[in-house]
Structure 1
Amino acid sequence: MRYATREEMRYDTRQSQVRARNRPRRNTTLLAAGAALAAAAYVVRQRTREVESDNPPAGKFVEVDGIRLHYVERGSGQPVVLLHGDGSMVQDFEISGLIDLAAKNYRVIAFDRPGYGYSDRPRTTIWTPQAQATLLHHALDQIGVSQPIVVGHSWGSQVAVALGLDYPDDVKSLVLISGYYYPTPRLDVPLLSPPAIPVIGDLLRYTVSPLIGRMIWPMMKKRIFAPAEVPHKFDARFPVWMTLRPSSLRASAAETALMIPAAFALRQRYHELTMPVVIMAGDGDAHVNSSVQSEQLHRELPHSTYHVTHGAGHMLHHFAPDEVMSAIDQAATALGAERRGEHRHIFPAPAQAI
């Protein structure tokens, strides 16, 4: 048996003394961190209660497949379904004026997609565009909507495309605004996806993530509207804390993580779209490159039409709602003429560009 030398014993004694001195510091640091997280959790809970009290559900609910979806319905006539983008909700279309404009001539149904606004998003499902399309298709059937014009903005465009691909006989036409259709590297994926990670993400969503989100909101808002200015009515009326609630952050983070895989899954099927498609984009979009995304999709779909708005960014429906309405009108009157022997429809070119 080997006995410790005097030097080794002295070393062990010194190490024990160092650990003893450091232990209170570590404990103090852990206590301070815990207190900070508890304070953050309290602020997030209070702000969530306040924003939900100030912004109660504005529409109706439909329960489908055990999931409750919130939607706003206005007007009458040909149905138009509006699908918002990642991190948004029905209020985005309300503030832009698009719901009121469309309701003059159409039956407008604007959904809070799963996890946003007041719609449920069970964790047992991976909410790909296809999964959301199936849920929305069942919801539309339940509320008596058939052959709608489906308008999708940003991430909502992927859901609109999935509806057109999986339920071609039940969709009249598509209007796709500022969409992301082809996989490209994106910095926002690693930056904004962590709140969707189990356990760690839960801790983040209920403590620091909403506070960080509120700090960076002015920068994000400027980016999605650039090169145009952020409209005053959006600044004044959009309830940003509704999008920073823990449930909404989980939905947004998950969709950010799914964005590239979803584009991979859909890109092989675009040629299957059989209905008229109107593609819209702003040439100044700093969030989604319109030439890489919208223009390329137009080239792939010979029966589509493509409208570029100069000086507009990602939030095209705020910058040019009348042009979006013109696209909806075009989609409503477009007639699909099936070529003999080919299972596809031809969208005749309009007399003049919209």
Structure 2
Amino acid sequence: MTTVETVLLAAALLLVLLVVGNVGFSKLAEWRNPPIGKFLDCDGVVLHYIDRGDPAAPCVVLLHGNGSMIQDFTISGLVDLLARSNRVVCFDRPGFGHSRRPRLRIWTAAAQAALLVKALNQIGIHDPVVLGHSWGALVAIALGVQKDYPIRGLVLASGYYFPTGRLDVWLMSGPAIPILGDLVSYTVAPIISWAVLPGALRKIFAPRSVPQTFKNEFPASLVLRPRQLRAAAEESALLIPTAAQFQAHYSIMSHQVQIFHGTEDEVIQFEQARDLHQALPRSDLHLVPDAGHMVTYADPAAIVAAVNSITNS
């Protein structure tokens, strides 16, 4: 066997070991972090969700950001606070947490909103307030412009609404590339993501520290699974085109919209929120001082008050 053949064989064996190891790691992560809610089979997609509070109360639907899952909202306290006077439904969006993400669909914000409309109708949720954080804000907006599903209003937190130059977004999109992306997702991407995750968490919570409850309770190992890394990469690739597409809707949106953004957000600048407030016919802007991207942790009480102001209007 030549030197080249030996190197190629060793590389192939290493790739196989990485794939097997990452598949095993994913199974272990799911076993150690079982579902905390129920499952719904909707339009061929298995969705994981929680349903809390009084079923007869006004409903609030929570949509998490890219790479996250239901636990983001439970750990922040938003679910418990909202459930005191509302029915609270929170989904793992397709591909995240314990929800599936069929590969034959392009999961744009509009596609996710269309699926969620069917899911909400299936479980009897009508006229909700929709709260979206980060990438989930785009899905919330997509729900808001659905013509066949009325909502009470929107609460948008740390969202990205207007296209800008974002090299970081394109760099994070690698695992979404067909075939090559799968190879990356099942080999080196989980290792790289594990290495950068602590710094990424510090960045999204900055200038505040990462809460100890988040460190203790958030199932970070689920974030590192190949299928969730691929879903996150797809959403990174879709971020700028989606914001560009949605601009035309802002001036004609009739819903009451409450906008929250941290003034020290290092992921998405607060000017995005300011510009959206100016573009919308009916909105209130809440810039939270000394808060970063995880504004839901910085002032959950204010967000709950904003939700209740819509449900009670």
Structure 1 length-normalised TM? 0.85
Task: Please give the residue correspondences for 1:293-312 in structure 2 after superposition, counting only pairs within 5 Å.
Answer: 293-312=272-291
Give me the whole-angstrom Cα distance separating, in 2, the residues matched to 1:93 and 1:168. 27
Q: Post-superposition, which runs of at least 4 consecutive aligned residues in structure 1 deviate over 3 A?
A: none
What is aligned with 1:241? 221
**Superposed CA offset, 1:103-143 (max 9, x none):** 11100000000111111211111111111111001100110
Work out whether residues 253 and 281 of structure 2, in 8 Å CA contact, stay in contact via their aligned partners in 1.
no
Give me the whole-angstrom Cα distance separating, in 2, the residues matched to 1:29 and 1:186. 37
Work out whether residues 168 and 273 of structure 1, in 8 Å CA contact, stay in contact via their aligned partners in 2.
no
What is aligned with 1:45? 23
Give me the whole-angstrom Cα distance separating, in 2, the residues matched to 1:39 and 1:58. 31
**Superposed CA offset, 1:23-42 (max 9, x none):** 82222322232232223223
Give me the whole-angstrom Cα distance separating, in 1, the residues matched to 2:109 and 2:252. 16
Choose which of 189, 192, 199 in structure 2 pairs with 1:219: 199
What is aligned with 2:114? 134
Give me the whole-angstrom Cα distance separating, in 2, the residues matched to 1:169 and 1:212. 41
Q: CA deviation at 1:302?
A: 3.3
What is aligned with 2:293? 314
Give me the whole-angstrom Cα distance separating, in 2, the residues matched to 1:147 and 1:195. 37
Work out whether residues 226 and 312 of structure 1, in 8 Å CA contact, stay in contact via their aligned partners in 2.
yes
Give me the whole-angstrom Cα distance separating, in 1, the residues matched to 2:72 and 2:148. 27
Q: CA deviation at 1:169?
A: 5.3
Q: 1:61 to 1:217 in 2, by over 3 A?
A: same
Q: Among all aligned residue pairs of Structure 1 and Structure 2, give the percentage whose two residues are the same amino acid.
A: 46
**Superposed CA offset, 1:301-340 (max 9, x none):** 1310000110000001112211211221222223xxxxxx
Letter of the 2:33 counterpart: N
Work out whether residues 42 and 118 of structure 2, in 8 Å CA contact, stay in contact via their aligned partners in 1.
yes
What is aligned with 1:323? 302
- Aligned alpha-carbon RMSD (Å): 1.3
Work out whether residues 183 and 261 of structure 1, in 8 Å CA contact, stay in contact via their aligned partners in 2.
yes
Letter of the 2:45 counterpart: I
Comparing 151-160 with 47-56, which one deviates more in the overlay? 47-56
Work out whether residues 252 and 281 of structure 2, in 8 Å CA contact, stay in contact via their aligned partners in 1.
no
Work out whether residues 252 and 280 of structure 2, in 8 Å CA contact, stay in contact via their aligned partners in 1.
no
What is aligned with 1:163? 143
Q: Given the alignment of the two structures, is residue 104 of structure 1 paired with residue 84 of structure 2, yes or no?
A: yes
Choose which of 43, 58, 67 in structure 2 pairs with 1:78: 58
What is aligned with 2:182? 202
SS at match of 1:56: coil
Letter of the 1:24 counterpart: T
Give me the whole-angstrom Cα distance separating, in 2, the residues matched to 1:302 and 1:203. 46
What is aligned with 1:118? 98
Letter of the 1:75 counterpart: G
Work out whether residues 132 and 155 of structure 2, in 8 Å CA contact, stay in contact via their aligned partners in 1.
yes
SS at match of 1:268: helix
What is aligned with 2:126? 146
Structure 2 length-normalised TM? 0.96
Choose which of 71, 92, 98 in structure 1 pairs with 2:72: 92
Give me the whole-angstrom Cα distance separating, in 2, the residues matched to 1:138 and 1:315. 29
Give me the whole-angstrom Cα distance separating, in 1, the residues matched to 2:120 and 2:149. 14
What is aligned with 1:28? 6
Q: CA deviation at 1:167?
A: 3.5
**Superposed CA offset, 1:83-108 (max 9, x none):** 00000000111111111111111000
Give me the whole-angstrom Cα distance separating, in 2, the residues matched to 1:224 and 1:87. 12
Task: Please give the residue correspondences for 1:259-278 in structure 2 after superposition, counting only pairs within 5 Å.
Answer: 259-278=239-258
Work out whether residues 148 and 173 of structure 1, in 8 Å CA contact, stay in contact via their aligned partners in 2.
yes
Structure with more relative contact order (C-alpha pairs < 8 Å, separation 6 or more): 2
Structure 2 residue runs without a partner (length 5+): none
**Superposed CA offset, 1:187-242 (max 9, x none):** 22222111111110111111110111000001111111111111111111111110
SS at match of 2:61: strand
What is aligned with 1:184? 164
Q: CA deviation at 1:65?
A: 1.1
Give me the whole-angstrom Cα distance separating, in 2, the residues matched to 1:131 and 1:306. 28
Q: CA deviation at 1:168?
A: 7.1
Work out whether residues 168 and 274 of structure 1, in 8 Å CA contact, stay in contact via their aligned partners in 2.
no
Work out whether residues 176 and 280 of structure 1, in 8 Å CA contact, stay in contact via their aligned partners in 2.
yes
**Superposed CA offset, 1:136-184 (max 9, x none):** 0110011000000000000000000011111475110100000000001
